[in-house]
Amino acid sequence: MTDATARLAAFACRTRWDEIPAGVQHQARRAAMNYVAVALAGCHDPTIDAALRAFEPLRAGTQARLVGRAERHDPYNAAAINAMAANVHDFCDTHIPTIVHPSAPVFPPLFALADAAPVRGQDLLRAFIVGAEVECRIANAISPGHYARGWHITSTCGVFGSAAAVANLRGLDAGVLASAFGSAAAQSCGLVETLGSSAKSISVGNAARNGMLSVALAEQGFEGPAAPLEGVRGFLRVVCDQPDPSRLEGGDPVWQLEADAFKPYPCGVVLNPVLDACLDIAASPDFLAREPQAIVYIELSGHPLLRQRTDRPGVTSGRQSQVSAQHAVGVSLLRRRAGLAEFSDAAVHDPAVRSLGAKVRFTDDPASTVDAARVTIGFADGFALSRSVEFARGSLGRPLSDAELENKLRTLARHGGHRLDASALVDAIWALDRLPDASAVTALTVPAP
């Protein structure tokens, strides 16, 4: 093991905007577009309403906005609530090598600080890029064993990304951030067992909030261990059997945002190729000519993670349906759509969807990537329909275009019932690095009095 903590902190604090390639800068703007879109979709979810009721007695001020809502909070709680809103529908971006969702824990603290005091858009985007890089490098160093053991990697690594982003935005030195990493490591938590429940969102919210808190503590002289990441009992060794600390130095790609993808569907990323295949089959004349009741089996062949994370029959809520292949297959074949309405409580209780989902079976293909899958549907008369997807829509091999991300924001704003100027919001996000005040973006999401 090496003094990896010190070098990672130095990278995070010293990186300048002009050192970041133009393509990575643009990818950060795309991530901002997606973050605002999914936060608008989730900000009025019952989970967020419940969180607001619980957070109300803890409110220490009203400096920061909540995306899409009239209420205001102090920066710490605003960061937590906005992170929860961005993650609640499982519609956020995904770092494909690790399945981390980089934006949800990192953008909210930055926008909360921008609401509290003026921040240039370029500085906010630079800090986001740095935070996402740190978050994903740490995730690389503990993958795939960390997630396989049941840790929710967005939450466990997101707290480090939040801390790095805040330190960069505030212009702090590497020694302060290294100490902050110690407090972040002590607050790193999140369990895969919580997927499909509201509890998943609290650990993402905590990652955003506690990263900010870790930096504030370090600024006041609150010390951390010398090697919170690579130490003998440091984060890497505790949460993974075979960590690779060399990945903290970077890797391929050089900038981890280049491996960040944006979802077209509100569900676990491993379901994306399955939904592509099902929607293609559902639109075919051969499928439309037959009755769904004649289907005998639906076979899903893909990466083992597909079965491990989504073999969830009989789910009872929209939240659970986000990680259920049985539901995703049934609803997409019957409704020929896969939007937020298809992953709702109402859709889950559709008896036709449940009946069709019960016919799903899995075949593991260790040679497959998480972006690929094959769906085969067998009918009672022996006829079969099959579709293979090599690169799911929204994957790195088939990324969403800028126009598709704009449309995602407009669609999700309408879904949330928001009456806002979507065109002005879209324009502000694309121009974020040129804005003298980054808070103009969150201001455009807030409903008029």
Name the amino acid, one letter, at 416. Answer: G
- What per-residue confidence (pLDDT) applies to 71? 96
Q: Hey, what's the torsion of the CAs at 164, 166, 172, 175, to 10 degrees?
A: -40
CA-nearest of 135, 95, 24, 30 to 370 is: 95
95 φ, ψ to 5°? -80, 105
- At 417, the pLDDT band (50, 70, 90 cuts) reads confident
Instruction: Please state the φ and ψ torsions of residue 278, each to the nearest 5 degrees.
Output: -65, -40
**pLDDT tens profile 210-237:** 999 999 999 999 999 999 999 999 999 9
Percentage above 70 pLDDT, the chain: 100
Which residue stretches of 232-301 are H helix? 235-239, 272-282, 285-288
Residues 184-219 have pLDDT tens digits of 999 999 999 998 888 999 999 999 999 999 999 999
Amino acid at 305: L
CA 314 and chain centroid, separation: 25
Mean pLDDT over residues 12-27, rounded? 98
Q: What is the pLDDT of residue 33?
A: 98
Residues 148/191, Cβ–Cβ less than 8 Å: no
Is residue 449 scored above 80 in pLDDT?
A: no
Cα-flanking dihedrals φ and ψ of residue 184, to 5°? -65, -40
Q: What is the pLDDT of residue 196?
A: 82
Residue 352 CA, distance from chain mean position: 30
Q: Kindly state which CATH superfamily the domain 269-389 is placed in.
A: 2-methylcitrate dehydratase PrpD (3.30.1330.120)
Query: How confident is the model over 89-112, as a mean pLDDT?
Result: 96
Residue 1 in this model has a pLDDT that exceeds 60? no
Kindly list the distances between the CA atom of residue 68 and the CA atoms of 53, 55, 206, 269, in Å, as whole numbers in the listed order: 17, 17, 20, 25
Instruction: Measure the CA–CA gap between 102 and 104, rounded to whole angstroms.
Output: 6
The SS3 of residue 85 is helix
Q: pLDDT band for position 111 (50/70/90)?
A: very high
Flag whether pLDDT at 53 surpasses 90: yes
CA distance 298 to 387: 11
Question: How far is it, in rounded angstroms, from Cα 184 to Cα 178?
Answer: 10
Cα 70 to Cα 63, 66, 119, 246, 449: the distances in Å are 12, 7, 21, 45, 8
pLDDT per position as a tens digit, 241-259: 999 999 999 988 999 999 9
Question: Can you tell me the distance from the alpha carbon of 7 to that of 442, in angstroms, rounded to the nearest whole number?
Answer: 33
- What are the C-alpha distances in Å from 427 to residues 70, 167, 197, 433? 22, 28, 35, 12
Which of 206, 119, 207, 159 is CA-nearest to residue 443?
119
* Residue ranges covered by each domain of the chain: 4-262+399-443, 269-389
Q: Residue 338's pLDDT is what?
A: 97
For range 429-447, the mean pLDDT:
97
* Euclidean distance between CA atoms 169 and 173, whole angstroms: 11
Residue 140 burial by Cβ neighbours in a 10 Å radius (0-12, 13-18, 19+): buried
Pairing status of strand 384-389 against strand 373-379: antiparallel
What's the chain's average pLDDT?
96
Return the number of other C-beta atoms located less than 10 Å from residue 251's C-beta: 17
Q: Kindly give the residue spans of alpha helices, DSSP state H, lying in 187-260.
A: 199-219, 235-239
Write the CATH number of the domain with boundaries 4-262+399-443: 1.10.4100.10
pLDDT more than 90, % of the chain: 94
pTM over 0.85: yes
The C-alpha torsion from 232 through 100 and 140 to 128, rounded to 10°, is -90
Beta strands 94-95 and 72-73 are: unpaired
Across the range 117-125, mean pLDDT stands at: 98
**Are 45 and 85 within 8 A, CB to CB?**
yes
Whether the per-residue pLDDT at 2 is higher than 70: the answer is no
Strands 295-302 and 360-364: parallel
